Amino acid sequence: MAKKVTKIGVLTSGGDAPGMNAAIRAVVRTALYHDVEVYGILRGYSGMVENDMIKMDSKSVSKIIQLGGTVLKTARCKEFYEPEGRAKAYNNLKKHGIDGLVVIGGDGSFKGAQQFSNEFDIPCIGLPGTIDKDIAGTDFTIGFDTAVNTAVEAIDKIRDTMEAHNRLFVVEVMGRDAGYIALHSGMATGAENILIPERKANLPELIQSLSQAEKNKKYVNLIVVTEGDEYGGADGISNYLRLSLPGADIRTAILGHIQRGGSPTANDRIIASRMGYHAVQCLLEGRYNVMVGIVNDEMRYTPLDKAVKAKQSINDEWLQIVEALH
């Protein structure tokens, strides 16, 4: 695939993340700067299959950098999983003359992009748009910083009422298979315990720690847990604690989808803008089928299949810091 890309399609797929609009804006305006036409594909891969695409100009992305969500909408498309659906999507791209794609999403979106590019002559560039930060090849993903700050703001407010009533609070944050939001938000809010999928929880040890705290008349305790925790998230942990600590005033808070929304932080806007710019540069320079990431503040290009297969691993230093500071 050494041919010159002349028209670019951009889509957002999977879960939405704050900063996606900043990435869309950067892709559109960088493409136009190089006199390359760009089309917005609505509702992710569904828009490719259903030929739901719009030609974009500079005004199309005016005043969206500060908005959460995605102006292109997002969806999960079962039809794209099938060869017939992907062939249909390819034919629709050809109708518009689109010969390069920028896919903003997580590893599921990248798997689809990699398979599509392998089957057809459409080079794809991936931008890591996921609040979970569970993609290898980049220090941060678009939306992660905003999600953490949203969680921190909510947990700080919970701690106020927790302190007033001498309560033990179990707060659940998003993250499914990745504990980065829990780790960062828990550390930033001084959580006494942080439970993440990457490290098996020792509940008897947790009970012992909380019992000792109770003996020391430390009734206020904050536990931050990832939704993908093996014991069933906040509800599962809370039920276990109630059986073992009948005298404790235990409350549960599930932050849920508020972590996905809201105006992106400055950091997410800047990361998304840099990544969007370099995505277009990759297509124009013939660097195909890679994910654009940032490592040590420098651009890093990871083959899509490696970004899909590899996961970020949590540094032991983080866990040691949590242990020392709790």
Residue positions annotated with a catalytic role: 132
Q: Could you tell me which of 72, 87, 13 has the C-alpha nearest to residue 44?
A: 13
In terms of residues, how long is the chain? 326
Q: CA-to-CA distance for 27 and 65, rounded, in angstroms?
A: 12
Contacts by 232-239 with C-beta closer than 8 Å and gap 24+?
233/172, 234/170, 234/171, 234/172, 235/172, 237/170, 237/195, 237/203, 238/170
Print burial letters for 179-203: b (CB count within 10 Å at least 16), e (below 16): bbbbbbbbbebebbbbbbbbeebee
CB-CB contact of 40 with 31 (8 Å): no
Amino acid letter, residue 316: D
The two structure tokens encoding residue 248? 């404790």
Print burial letters for 36-53: b (CB count within 10 Å at least 16), e (below 16): bbbbbbbbbbbbbbbebb
